[in-house]
C-alpha cells in the first residue's frame, strides 16, 4: 500500500486534528448518518485513553465513535478519491454520509477505501466506530471477563495477555487523496549490492493492464541513473552507493503510468541498494557482519499514548544514535510508517514485528506467567487473522531498506505441542510475500528452552527473551550469568549454524534510586545487570546482537507487579537517561564492527 504523497497527478489532504468523540455504552443506538450529541473534542492521531481524567474513561471496554466533517471541491472529484487510515486500534467500521464503506481488523497497519461515489461536493460526514477489545481472535490477544459483586452492576473487564497498556483509538494519521481513473496501486522495488534493481508495479482501473509504464531510478541528488519500462522488470545501476548504518544513502524509483486514453499517474518510491543475509552464525549487511546493538522499543509516551508523534520519534532515534545503538525491534507491533521512513533516512536497522503478542493462554494481564493454560494452540482462533496481518505488514514495509528481518510473534507458547504447525505456514507465507527473502524469526521466552522449543528450526536466527537475575535468580547476577550462558550454549548445540541474539533482557529500575550494594530496583543494579549479560555475550562467538528491554519506561495494565508501569527503561518515559545508559553508551561505542 503506497504512502500518501503529493505528486504531479495526486493531491493529498490530511484529516488530522480535533474530531468529535464519544464512548458508547453496551447496546447504545448507533446512527452513522447524524451528528453526534454529547460529544467531546478528541485529537487525531492519538490514543484516546489519557486525554481526559477518569478511570472509567481510560479503561473503557468496547465501542467508541469518532466523527468529523470535511469538504470536497469540484477539482477533487475529477478522478478517484480515497480515504486512508494509518491505523485504528483494534477494529474500525467506517461510514461516510451514512453509507458503510467497510471495516478493518488489526490495530497497527493501514487500510483505505475508495470514496469516489460516496463523497459529494461540499460537506461530508465521516463516522468511525472503533472497538478496543482484545480476545482470543485478535492480535494482540486477551480475555474478556464479566465480574460480579453482590449489590453492584456486572462489570466487563478486558485482560490483555501482554505487558503493555491497551491504548486504542485512531492512533495514526488520516488522509484523503486523489488519483487518476487508472492509477498506480502498489510498487515493489529492490536494489542489490551489484546495482541490480528489480521492480513490480500494480495498477488499477479500466484497461490498466494495457497502460504504458516507465520507471526511472534517481539518486539522492535527483540525477537519473537508470531508465526502464514495463510493469515488472530488472536493470542495473553502475557503481551504486550502498545503504548502511553509517551512510544511509537513498535512491528513488519514479514511476509513470499512462493509460490508452492518455490518463497519467506518477509516484516516487524510496529505496536503497543493500543486501541482508545470514552465514556462519552471523547476520550480514552488504556481506559484512553486523552486530545488532539496541533495544526492544515501544511506540509510546506522554498523553498521546501510542498516537503518532513526529517530534518524539525523531528524538528517540537521536537518542539511539547518541547511545551507540544501530537497531531496534518494533516490539510488539509494526511501528508507524513515519518511523520506518525516519529509520531509512537515519540508518537504523529494524526487526519488524507483527502484533502477535499474548499467544499464550498461560500469560496474565501483565504478561507474566500465572494464567490458566488450556492448550494455547487449541484455544486461540487467530491463525487466519495472523496470516492476513503478516501479508499486510510485508506489503506495507517491503521496500524499506531499514527492515532487515521479520518477527512473526513475541513470546508465544512455542514450547507447546501445536506451535510448529501454527507457525510453519506463517514463516513460509512471509518469505513468499517478500521479494528480498529477508530473515524471519519468532521471539521466544524462558519457557521455551533448548529442549522444549518447537519452533527453533523454523527461524533463520534465534531471538531469545531472558530475565535471569530478575524474574528468577533475582539479585544473584553471578548465578544468573551461569544460567544464561548454559542456555545459550544449549541453543547453539541444537542450531549450530543459526545466529543467536537476546531480544529482551532487563531489570525494573526506579530513576533516582541508588544503593551502595546495587540492590534490586536501583540504578546500580540495572547497570550491573547489563554488565553481567554483556560479559556472557562477549564470551560466545555466535552471539549476533543484544537488544535491551526496554528503550524507555512505558505504561502497562494496572497490577501490583507494576508500579506506574514497566520501569525497565534505560530512559525514563520522558526520555531522561538512567545510569545504565552511560554504561551501554561506553560498551556499544567499544564494540567495533563495520556497522
**Residues marked as catalytic:** 411, 504
Largest separation between any pair of C-alpha atoms in the chain: 78
Reduced to 3 states, what is the DSSP secondary structure of residue 317?
helix
- What is the C-alpha R_g of the chain? 24
Q: Which residue has the cell 461510514?
A: 95
Instruction: Give, in order, the Cα–Cα distances in Å from 34 to each of 18, 68, 99, 291.
Output: 18, 11, 11, 56
The stretches of 277-382 forming alpha helices (DSSP H) are 310-323, 337-346, 376-379
Rounded CA-CA distance 12/15 in Å is 10
Distance (Å, whole) CA 577 – CA 572? 6
| CA angle centred on 164, ends 312 and 23, rounded to 5° | 85
Q: Give the relative orientation of helices 337-346 and 310-323 as an angle to the nearest 10 degrees.
A: 40
Take residue 282 and report the three cell numbers written for it.
552471523
Q: Which residues contact 62 (CB under 8 A, 6 or more apart)?
A: 24, 26, 131, 132, 133, 156
Check the CA dihedral 563-568-571-575 and report its sign.
negative
Determine the Cα–Cα distance for residues 89 and 76; give it in Å rounded to an integer.
29
Task: Enumerate the β-bridge partners of residue 217.
Answer: 226, 253
C-alpha cell recorded at residue 537: 555475550
Amino acid at each position: 500500500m503506497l504512502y500518501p504523497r503529493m505528486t504531479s497527478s495526486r493531491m493529498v489532504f490530511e484529516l488530522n486534528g480535533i474530531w468529535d468523540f464519544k464512548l458508547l455504552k453496551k447496546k447504545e443506538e448507533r446512527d452513522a448518518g447524524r451528528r453526534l450529541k454529547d460529544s467531546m473534542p478528541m485529537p487525531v492521531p492519538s490514543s484516546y485513553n489519557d486525554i481526559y481524567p477518569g478511570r472509567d474513561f481510560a479503561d473503557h471496554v468496547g465501542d467508541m465513535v469518532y466523527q468529523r466533517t470535511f469538504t470536497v471541491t469540484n477539482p477533487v472529484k475529477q478522478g478517484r478519491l480515497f480515504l486512508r487510515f494509518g491505523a485504528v486500534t483494534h477494529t474500525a467500521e467506517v461510514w461516510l454520509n451514512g453509507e458503510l464503506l467497510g471495516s478493518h481488523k488489526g490495530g497497527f497497519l493501514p487500510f483505505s477505501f475508495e470514496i469516489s461515489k460516496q463523497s459529494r461536493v461540499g460537506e461530508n460526514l465521516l463516522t468511525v466506530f472503533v472497538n478496543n477489545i482484545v480476545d482470543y481472535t485478535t492480535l494482540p490477544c486477551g480475555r474478556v471477563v464479566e465480574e460480579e459483586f453482590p449489590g453492584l452492576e456486572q462489570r466487563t473487564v478486558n485482560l490483555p495477555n501482554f505487558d503493555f497498556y491497551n491504548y486504542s483509538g485512531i492512533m495514526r494519521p488520516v488522509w484523503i487523496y486523489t488519483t487518476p481513473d487508472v492509477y498506480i496501486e502498489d510498487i515493489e522495488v529492490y536494489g542489490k549490492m551489484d546495482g541490480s534493481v528489480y521492480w513490480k508495479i500494480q495498477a488499477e482501473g479500466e484497461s490498466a493492464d494495457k497502460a504504458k509504464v516507465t520507471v526511472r531510478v534517481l539518486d539522492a541528488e535527483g540525477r537519473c541513473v537508470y531508465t526502464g519500462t514495463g510493469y515488472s522488470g530488472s536493470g542495473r545501476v553502475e557503481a551504486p552507493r550502498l545503504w548502511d548504518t553509517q551512510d544511509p544513502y537513498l535512491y528513488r524509483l519514479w514511476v509513470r503510468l499512462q493509460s490508452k486514453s492518455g490518463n497519467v499517474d506518477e509516484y516516487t518510491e524510496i529505496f536503497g541498494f543493500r543486501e541482508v543475509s545470514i552465514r556462519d552464525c552471523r547476520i550480514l549487511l552488504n556481506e559484512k557482519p553486523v552486530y545488532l546493538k539496541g533495544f526492544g522499543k515501544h511506540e509510546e509516551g506522554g498523553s498521546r499514548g501510542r498516537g503518532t508523534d513526529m517530534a518524539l520519534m525523531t528524538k528517540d532515534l537521536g537518542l539511539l544514535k547518541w547511545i551507540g545503538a544501530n537497531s531496534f525491534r518494533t516490539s510488539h507491533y509494526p511501528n508507524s510508517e513515519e518511523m520506518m521512513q525516519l529509520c531509512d533516512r537515519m540508518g537504523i536497522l529494524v526487526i519488524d514485528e507483527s502484533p502477535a503478542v499474548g499467544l499464550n493462554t498461560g500469560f496474565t494481564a501483565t504478561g507474566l506467567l500465572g494464567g490458566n493454560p488450556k492448550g494455547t494452540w487449541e484455544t486461540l482462533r487467530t491463525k487466519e487473522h495472523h496470516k492476513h496481518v503478516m501479508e499486510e505488514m510485508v506489503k506495507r514495509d517491503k521496500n524499506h531498506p531499514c527492515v532487515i528481518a521479520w518477527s512473526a510473534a513475541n513470546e508465544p507458547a512455542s514450547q507447546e505441542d501445536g506451535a510448529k504447525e501454527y507457525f510453519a505456514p506463517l514463516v513460509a507465507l512471509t518469505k513468499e510475500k517478500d521479494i528480498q527473502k529477508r530473515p524471519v524469526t519468532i521471539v521466544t521466552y524462558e519457557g521455551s528452552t533448548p529442549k522444549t522449543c518447537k519452533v527453533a528450526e523454523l527461524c533463520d536466527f534465534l531471538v531469545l527473551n531472558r530475565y535471569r537475575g530478575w524474574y528468577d535468580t533475582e539479585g544473584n547476577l553471578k548465578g544468573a550469568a551461569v544460567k544464561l550462558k548454559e542456555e545459550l550454549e544449549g541453543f547453539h548445540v541444537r542450531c549450530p549454524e543459526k545466529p543467536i541474539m537476546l531480544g529482551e533482557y532487563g531489570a525494573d529500575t526506579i530513576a533516582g534510586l541508588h544503593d551502595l550494594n546495587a540492590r534490586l530496583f536501583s540504578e546500580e543494579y540495572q547497570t550491573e545487570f547489563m554488565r553481567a549479560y554483556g560479559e556472557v555475550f562477549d564470551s560466545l562467538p555466535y552471539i549476533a546482537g543484544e537488544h535491551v528491554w526496554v528503550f524507555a519506561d512505558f505504561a502497562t495494565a494496572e497490577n501490583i507487579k507494576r508500579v506506574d508501569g514497566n520501569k525497565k527503561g534505560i530512559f525514563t518515559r520522558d526520555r531522561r537517561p538512567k545510569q545504565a545508559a552511560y554504561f551501554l553508551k561506553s560498551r556499544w561505542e567499544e564494540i567495533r564492527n563495520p556497522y
